[in-house]
Amino acid sequence: MINRFCCFLLLLVSCIAVQSQTTSSPAAAAQPSATANAASARPADVDSAEHIVAALYDVISGPAGKRDWDRFRSLFYPGARLIPTGQNEKGEVTARVLSPDDYVNRAQPRFDKEGFFERSIANRTETWDRIAHVWSTYESRHAKDDAKPFARGINSIQLFNDGKRWWVMTVFWQAEDANHSLPEKYTK
């Protein structure tokens, strides 16, 4: 009985040791992809919180056609998310969680058919050490010189600096609608 118990304990300890060697923290698991993304990023896109937000708007904006999705992906830390919110057909408020690749697959068919130009009209940025939060009010147009935007809203953008560059961790947004107009304090 003691021998069986000792064998059981030895097996359990071995399993725990293997588990701890094969399971790492999310940051450690993400490192190879982060290194690959860092190599492809334009240095001027990721050297400041302001520049990475500007690059984010720039890379998704343009006339009908393809976007530079490699540049887009280079802005995001592995595991980063884009989260649009709004009402579905039933009137329920929902949030959809997308990876950068999910966003590409969702947006490109629309971009193939029509232009999309989004720009920030006001940013509020809070930074502490390696993290930043940008509350970015946006306007979207189909053509760069359209007099009136077809959409406005707020992007809540969370950023991380690893000591070498800035990364987008999350873009969480809500568009303005008939029942929820942008407060004036976020348009200045």
DSSP for 129-181? Answer: TTEEEEEEEEEEESSTT-SS-SEEEEEEEEEEE-SS-EEEEEEEEEE-BTTBP
List the one residue out of 96, 136, 100 whose CA is nearest residue 118. Answer: 136
Confidence at residue 188, expressed as pLDDT on a 0 to 100 scale = 87
Domain of residue 167, CATH code? 3.10.450.50
Q: Does position 54 have pLDDT exceeding 50, yes or no?
A: yes
Q: pLDDT tens digit string along 73-129?
A: 999 999 999 999 998 889 899 999 999 999 999 999 999 999 999 999 999 999 999
Owning domain of residue 145? 30-186
Residue 103 lies inside a defined structural domain of this protein: yes
Torsion sign over Cα 108, 63, 88, 76 = positive
Cα separation of 74 and 95, whole Å? 24
Residue 14 lies in a domain: no
Q: Of 7-11, 37-41, 46-50, 81-85, where does mean pLDDT reach its minimum?
A: 7-11
35, pLDDT greater than 90: no
pLDDT value, residue 93: 93
148 is written with which tokens? 């009136």
- Residue 6: inside a domain, yes or no? no
The pLDDT mean for the chain works out to 86
Q: What is the DSSP code (8-state) at residue 90?
A: T
CA atoms within 13 A on the CB side of 38: 15
**Cβ atoms within 10 Å of 166's Cβ, excluding its own:** 24
93 within domain boundaries? yes
138 part of a folded domain: yes
Looking at the domain assignment, is residue 5 inside a domain? Answer: no
DSSP state of 62: B
- Does residue 161 belong to any structural domain of this protein? yes
Q: Is the pTM of this model over 0.85?
A: no
Q: Does residue 7 have a pLDDT over 70?
A: no
Number of domains in the chain: 1
104 occurs within a structural domain: yes
